[in-house]
């Protein structure tokens, strides 16, 4: 499995808008992408403007499909001005706790 972890730093005035939009992005990804298995949205306890996404795809090709999707491109464009920082890391999942 291919794991993607993305951490956003969101401008304070846009936190609620970003959260609404990213939750819809998670729903769209899970509904429209057969090879998207997990799309969690997390908010930092200490710093509410730090948002973490944890996404699991079947493989790298499935993530590439995600990046090319209309719903991802729409999301990315919509939140661009709301975000002051973004860090993306990828991993191979070796074991699931399930």
Domain locations in the chain as residue ranges: 2-92
> What was the pLDDT predicted at 98?
67
Per-residue pLDDT of the chain (98 residues; tens, 9 = 90+): 999 999 999 999 999 999 999 999 999 999 999 999 999 999 999 999 999 999 999 999 999 999 999 999 999 999 999 999 999 999 999 988 76
pLDDT for the residue 97:
78
Q: How many CB atoms are closer than 10 A to CB 50?
A: 16
Fold observed for domain 2-92: Alpha-Beta Plaits (3.30.70)
CA distance 80 to 5: 18
Q: What is the pLDDT of residue 95?
A: 86
What's the pTM?
0.94
- Angle, to 10 degrees, between the axis of helix 60-68 and the axis of helix 70-79? 60
Q: Which of 56, 63, 60 is nearest to 95 (CA)?
A: 56
The answer to whether 10 and 83 have CB atoms below 8 angstroms apart is: yes
């Amino acid at each position: 499995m291919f794991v993607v972890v993305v951490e956003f730093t969101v401008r304070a005035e846009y936190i609620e808008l970003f959260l609404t939009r990213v939750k819809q992005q998670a729903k769209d990804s899970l509904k429209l992408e057969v090879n998207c298995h997990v799309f969690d949205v997390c908010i930092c306890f200490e710093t509410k403007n730090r948002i973490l996404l944890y996404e699991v795809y079947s493989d790298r090709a499935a993530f590439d499909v995600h990046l090319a999707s209309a719903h991802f491109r729409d999301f990315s464009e919509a939140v661009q001005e709301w975000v002051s920082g973004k860090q993306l890391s990828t991993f191979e999942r070796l074991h699931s706790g399930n």
